[in-house]
Amino acid sequence: MSLSGLFRAGQWRSRAMSQCVLEPRPPGKRWLVAGLGNPGLPGTRHSVGMAVLGQLAKRLGVAESWARDQRCVADLALAPLGDAQLVLLRPRRLMNANGRSVARAVELFGLTAEEVYLVHDELDKPLGKLALKLGGSARGHNGVRSCISCLNSSAMPRLRVGIGRPTHPSAVQAYVLGRFSPEEQELLPPLLDQATDLLLDHIRARSQRPSSVP
């Protein structure tokens, strides 16, 4: 495709995403799932939340539907889940500013903090371990801290994906920004599948509850 063709295709995708945002809210519930990380650093431990979002998009059949939204400074994809709709979001800001992208999407889609899932790495769990935490503090995670600050709430459910912790505290920064080792990469496919299962099961269960039930 020519450069002009790519530009026109990009304009169409941007308009299509804008129309999706402006359409009336679907009859079922709507949830935002945000994969926290650093743009341009795929395959690193700190961006494992974005890897989970990639697997989630594949599972839902929207892996080719990502579109950049300049208002959120993020990539977005919309996916049906039964009667519900998922808004998948990958921020294009650095980790410590991810919350600005999440908060803008919350505003555009008319959501509350309780309707936002954050998916992020967790140093205090070994690689391969997952935990779904319902709100609470950031526990030292800069991306979660940014989301709490920008949303003015700590009510967001978080899927914590274990990456393990290095022996020496001084090595944490290099460790989280580093890529998974070959041995660790062998554990990633089943981990991403398990993370996707956990997310979808939890969202399906919440979608079936009355609106007044948390």
Query: Residue with structure tokens 């919309």?
Result: 78
Q: How many Cα neighbours within 13 Å face the side chain of 38?
A: 12
Task: Quote the Cα angle for 178-57-49, to 5°.
Answer: 30
Is residue 140 within 8 Å of 59, Cβ to Cβ? no
Is residue 199 within 8 Å of 33, Cβ to Cβ? yes
Residues 6 or more apart in contact with residue 106 via CB below 8 angstroms: 32, 112, 113, 115, 116, 151
Task: State how far the Cα of 91 lies from the Cα of 141, in Å rounded to an integer.
Answer: 16
Q: Which residues are catalytic?
A: 46
Query: Residue with structure tokens 């690689």?
Result: 127
